[in-house]
């Protein structure tokens, strides 16, 4: 009887958890882990047929990480490296994947410079200054900042007509700002700060590809992409959504 119980226990899929600062997504036969304290990516090639079960059924997840017994050697290494834990995080770490981008909110040929106001210019300058400061911090700290701010909002987090006008204003002003070597991340931070100054709260998305390994950041409101071409971001798997 004891032997039978041991065999059943060994064959039962094991549940692990992602630490608060770790995010992950599945890309083909790879599982990509992102350590947001160092902005370091780790790609693990999982055995065919033994890919871990995703607790949300989506391509990105936080929380439960269920694996088959055959994957245990991989899991042991991930535990040693701090990418997995047996302890459930204190907070509800679930992060839903953003809706598949369908269209851009404001196309280039729709921009209306005449709608720019002095307050837009002031907020544009302040947002870009704040974005430069955020880039000097660990990604984890920026994410926590965005989460705390969005958690204070109840009900609708953005108004589509207002959002469209503000994104139009930002896009018209963007050529006036100096370029940055991390253009996608800097632009997403700046636009996020610009919108939040007018109480418009949208999703910050960080996506990756595996062949080659690339990363890209953008902002999204429902299925609208705010600062990138939808066809381009569809090529990335979301690994982090705030």
Establish if 17 belongs to a structural domain.
yes
Q: Tell which of 80, 111, 142 closes a domain.
A: 80
Task: Give Rg (Cα) of the chain.
Answer: 20
Please classify residue 150 by burial: count the beta carbons closer than 10 Å to its beta carbon, then call 0-12 exposed, 13-18 middle and 19+ buried.
Answer: middle
- Cα 75 to Cα 17: distance, rounded to the nearest angstrom: 11
Are residues 136 and 237 part of one domain? yes
Are residues 196 and 131 part of one domain? yes
| pLDDT of 89 | 65
Are residues 197 and 141 part of one domain? yes
Rounded to an integer, what is the distance from CA 174 to the centroid of its chain? Answer: 23
Are residues 144 and 58 part of one domain? no
Are residues 148 and 72 part of one domain? no
| pLDDT of 194 | 96
Q: Which CATH number is 39's domain given?
A: 3.90.930
**What is the full per-residue pLDDT of the chain (242 aa) written as tens digits?**
444 334 334 445 677 788 888 888 877 777 888 999 988 888 887 665 555 554 443 444 455 566 555 566 777 888 888 888 887 765 544 455 566 788 888 877 788 888 889 999 999 999 999 999 999 999 999 988 888 887 787 655 899 999 999 999 999 998 887 777 788 999 999 999 999 999 999 999 999 888 778 899 999 998 899 999 999 999 898 888 88
- Domain residues for 73? 2-80
Q: Tell which of 35, 65, 80 closes a domain.
A: 80
Q: How many domains is the chain partitioned into structurally? A: 2
Are residues 142 and 73 part of one domain? no
Kindly list the strands in the beta sheet with 60-61, ordered across the sheet, starting from the edge strand earlier in the chain: 40-45, 30-35, 22-27, 60-61
| pLDDT of 156 | 56
Q: Which residue has the tokens 């032997």?
A: 3
| pLDDT of 179 | 74
Are residues 75 and 164 part of one domain? no
Q: What does the DSSP assignment read for 98-136?
A: PPPP-EESS-GGG--GGG--HHHHHHHHHHHHHHHHHHT
Q: Tell which of 34, 49, 80 closes a domain.
A: 80
Are residues 116 and 194 part of one domain? yes
- Cα 42 to Cα 195: distance, rounded to the nearest angstrom: 32
| pLDDT of 48 | 55
- Cα 18 to Cα 89: distance, rounded to the nearest angstrom: 8
């Amino acid at each position: 009887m004891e032997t039978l119980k041991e065999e059943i226990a060994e064959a039962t899929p094991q549940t692990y958890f992602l630490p608060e600062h770790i995010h992950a997504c599945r890309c083909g036969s790879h599982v990509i882990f992102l350590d947001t304290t160092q902005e370091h990516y780790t790609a693990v090639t999982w055995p065919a047929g033994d890919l871990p079960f995703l607790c949300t059924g989506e391509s990105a997840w936080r929380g439960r990480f269920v694996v088959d017994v055959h994957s245990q050697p991989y899991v042991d290494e991930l535990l040693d490296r701090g990418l997995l834990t047996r302890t459930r995080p204190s907070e509800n770490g679930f992060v839903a994947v953003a809706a598949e981008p369908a269209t851009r909110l404001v196309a280039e040929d729709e921009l209306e410079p005449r709608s720019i106001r002095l307050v837009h210019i002031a907020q544009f300058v302040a947002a870009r200054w704040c974005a430069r400061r955020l880039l000097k911090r660990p990604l984890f700290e920026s994410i926590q900042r965005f989460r705390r701010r969005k958690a204070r909002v109840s009900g609708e987090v953005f108004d589509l007509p207002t959002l469209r006008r503000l994104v139009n204003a930002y896009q018209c002003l963007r050529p006036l700002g100096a370029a940055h070597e991390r253009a996608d991340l800097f632009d997403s931070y700046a636009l996020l700060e610009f919108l939040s100054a007018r109480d418009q709260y949208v999703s910050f998305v960080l996506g990756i590809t595996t062949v080659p390994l690339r990363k890209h950041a953008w902002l999204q409101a429902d299925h609208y992409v705010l600062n990138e071409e939808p066809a381009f971001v569809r090529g990335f798997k979301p690994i982090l959504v705030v």
